[in-house]
Chains A and B, each alone.
Chain A
Amino acid sequence: MKKKKMSFGFAAPAFVIYTVLLVIPILMAFYFSLNKWNGFNEMTFIGLNNYLNVFKDSRLGNAVGNTAVISIVVVLVVNVLGLGLAMLVNKASAKSNIFRTVFFIPFVLSTVAISFVWKSILSYNGVLNSMLTALGQSGLVGNWLGKQGPAIVCIILVEIWRTLGYHMMLYLAALQTVPQELYEACTVDGGNRWDKFRNVTLPLIIPGMSVSILMSIINELRMYDVVKIMTDGGPGYDTETVVYNIVSQGFSNNMVGYSSAISVVLFLVIGAISIFIVTKMSGKEVEA
């Protein structure tokens, strides 16, 4: 196909919608982040001051800490457990089909719905505590959502519960690209299960793995819905995440400039992580 007069017209509608509703707002966010502005009155240019404040804000620091804890734990667990589960259901049988279907359900439900369900289970006067009381274990009754530590653990558990099936399917898709012959060759060479896993499975699923890790990181860094509904950032601001903080600074406190600065930083962090993982993992692929 030699430079045929294929018109840009095909790309134009997408280009216009994408530019007006996504790219321009992002550029506006960059611009706002250099200003002090409440969204209504005059804007004042203050250079990088908002960014300097980002690093001094203890409430935001707390939100970053929460987000980091949630992300690290969830990313580790769903990827390790997801891979394990994928290996368990990686065979064509009716049974493993049922498991696949079941594990995947939480991921298709709306976060709003599942957050309410979990809230009703974990609230102090909710299902879990009343079950414990009924079983005569009232000593185990806990204020799950009312204290920072347990509340964050609850949020982590809900996130794991919600996304585990999804990561299992990502790994399953990756496992199915591994040719059976390689396992057979490994057996012939006298390799045991661990050898097979280390020398055959792992190198070959690295592309799938990088996708799964990347998706889980991006997902958790953007965490908002579950926290909004289950604890609304509370008690105090003990369970606020970065995105929750951005929304409350921007929408509730009208600190448009400041909240834009935080979101720009978040954007850069996610961008950096994505690029790092993609380049790092693609390097490994070549080795393998």
Chain B
Amino acid sequence: MKKRKLTALALTVCMVGGMVAGCGSTDAKGTTDTAADTKDTAATETAAEDKDTTDKASGDAATLTFGVFETDNITAEIWQNMIDGFEKENPDIKVEKVLATGDDRQAFWKTMLSSGSFPDIVVEAQKLATMDGIFAEVPQDIQDLFDPATLCQYDGKCITVPSFRQYKMQCYYNKEIFKELNLEEPTTWDEFQNVCKTIKDAGKTPLMCGGTGDIWATGEPFWIAEGDTSLLSKYPDFNKDLSEGNQKWNNETTVDVLTKWQDMVNAGYYYEGAMSLSYSQAAEEFKKGTAAMMIDGSWQAAGLDGEKNEDFGVFAVPTIDGSKTTVADCSYWGVSETCKNKDAAFKFIKYVYGDNTDVYKAYLQSDGLYSTTKEPVTYEQGPVTTKFIDNIKDWDTVQEIIVLPGEYAAPSGMQSFMDKSFQNIFNGGDVQSEVESWDTEYQRLKDAE
């Protein structure tokens, strides 16, 4: 009997709650209000709870989530050594690896962000740093670890730390094919085209790239080698002008570079099945000799050195305008603003970049990267990496437009849009209208931020 009364009571409560919500579904105006209400109360509750958890967490063992990505070079082992070393020195902190998946890592991080499972430390912070309030401000003692020239600011705040500098996009080639066809490393754009033509005429495939498996691997290599360099040598302040509305993507230089690229594709210089390959499949095919050349970053040099592979050479891709410009990008780590234990997170960063150079060195060496710390960290370079650096000894270096950090950074989402657009161009899309769509999308993404 008693039991029944209790249930009855519970039911009335439910019923009333139900009625309220039930009414909502018939009355459109009512529902938006209730939805908004629930959100408001939820938000205040969150704030209160947040405080609670931070208080609690500071005492006990902390867990950090560490968002990384892996490649054929930067393997699980590299991260694991970093984590193990840190945990050994800080037994009260546990580090958990979160591995980015899918072909578009920026999209992956954003999915994590939207779903509230954003890692405490992210290794590609520059891809998200333009959005307000994602990353925590970096303490001065951590900033002091790094070469000041590589630090950057967003809205006057330093929220990311530079993890490495990376030279991008030179052309690797199959020495045997070059020898067979009596080819030399080209030094001008015309020579480069001639090399492609000779290889094509000999019935071989000149160039390899990736496709839908990794969207960046189709157009980025060529664009970084030619597009960024041409635009930046002509308009040194391209990012600033673009961001302030005084410049457009849609200009002669962009269209010219992309038209030339499409002409190369149409001439059959690229591997026919490239579009269905992932990056590592493409690299694999290149190493098998399916194509004679592949434009790729310094990580490929490190990979070849790692395998002690001497079948491949590398030359700087001759720029269209003949300028000696090449791209070097910095990558950044950031600590999430939602991290419950920022001290521990920065301790981890300090461990990697300050306390233990071996860990940092292994990270750099695996992918052919260069240090960004105040005290440079160097490692012994293999022959291909050495050649790679020699190729651009007295060249100007610029930072890729789309990943330039700081105030004039492109809105996040722009890079993957361009990557897809490159694929459209590769498959015969109209260059002019594709480039126009870049401006539209740039504006749209900027407005959305």
A→B interface (CB under 8 Å)? 7-9, 12, 15-16, 19, 23-24, 27-28, 30-31, 36, 38-41, 58, 122-126, 129, 143-148, 231-238, 248, 250-256, 258
Contacts and interface: CB of A to CB of B under 8 A. Distances in A.
Interface stretch (B29-37, B81-89, B328-336): B29-37
A38 B130 CA distance: 13
B35 A253 contact: no
A236 B427 contact: yes
Contact of B15 (A8, A129, A232, A233): A8
Contacts of A24: 21, 35, 38
A224 to B, nearest CB: 13
B448 interface: yes
A103 to B, nearest CB: 29
B105 to A, nearest CB: 11
A146 B107 contact: no
A253 B272 contact: no
B273 A9 contact: no
A145 B277 CA distance: 9
A28 to B, nearest CB: 5
Contacts of A231: 212
B421 interface: yes
Interface string B204-232: 00000001110100100000000000000
Contact of B275 (A31, A147, A233): A147
B214 to A, nearest CB: 9
A283 B212 CA distance: 47
Interface stretch (B4-12, B145-153, B184-192, B318-326): B4-12
B133 interface: yes
Interface in B1-56: 7-8, 10-11, 14-15, 17-18, 21, 24-25, 31-32, 34-36, 38-39
A251 B132 contact: no
The 9 closest A-B pairs by CB, nearest first: A124-B273, A146-B275, A234-B212, A252-B107, A236-B424, A236-B423, A9-B11, A12-B14, A124-B276
B172 interface: no
Contact of B427 (A39, A238, A254): A238
B365 to A, nearest CB: 31
Interface in B67-126: 102-104, 106-107, 110-111, 113-115
Given A8-B11, A252-B416, A235 B423 contact: yes
B276 A38 contact: no
Nearest to B108: A252
A144 to B, nearest CB: 7
B429 interface: yes
B374 to A, nearest CB: 33
Nearest to B417: A253
Given A28-B39, A143-B273, A143-B275, 11 more contacts: A9-B10, A15-B14, A24-B21, A24-B38, A38-B448, A38-B449, A124-B274, A126-B276, A236-B426, A252-B104, A253-B413
Nearest to B32: A31
A254 B448 CA distance: 8
B110 A125 contact: no
A15 B35 contact: no
10 contacts: A8-B15, A28-B35, A143-B275, A146-B427, A234-B211, A235-B275, A236-B426, A252-B104, A254-B113, A254-B412
B281 interface: yes
Contacts of B34: 27
A93 to B, nearest CB: 43
A16 B106 contact: no
A239 to B, nearest CB: 8
Contacts of B102: 232
Contacts, number: 153
Nearest to A15: B18
Nearest to B433: A58
B421 A27 contact: no
A144 B39 CA distance: 47
A253 to B, nearest CB: 4
A7 B12 CA distance: 9
A250 B114 contact: yes
A261 B338 CA distance: 28
Contacts of B25: 23, 27
Given A235-B423, A252-B416, A254-B448, A40 B212 contact: no
A7 B14 CA distance: 11
B285 interface: yes
B420 interface: yes
A12 B16 CA distance: 11
Nearest to B21: A19
Nearest to B4: A7
B114 A31 contact: no
Nearest to B25: A23
* Residue among A129, A144, A237, A253 with the highest chain B CB neighbour number at 10 A: A253
A160 to B, nearest CB: 21
Given A27-B24, A235-B427, A236-B427, A9 B14 contact: yes
B131 interface: yes
B389 interface: no
A124 B14 contact: no
Contacts of A237: 420, 424
Contacts of A255: 448
Contact of B212 (A15, A30, A232): A232
B377 interface: no
Contacts of B212: 145-146, 231-235
B142 interface: no
Contacts of A40: 131-134
Contact of A9 (B7, B115, B276, B429): B7
A7 B21 contact: no
Contacts of B277: 123-125
A197 B273 CA distance: 47
A235 B36 contact: no
A248 B107 CA distance: 8
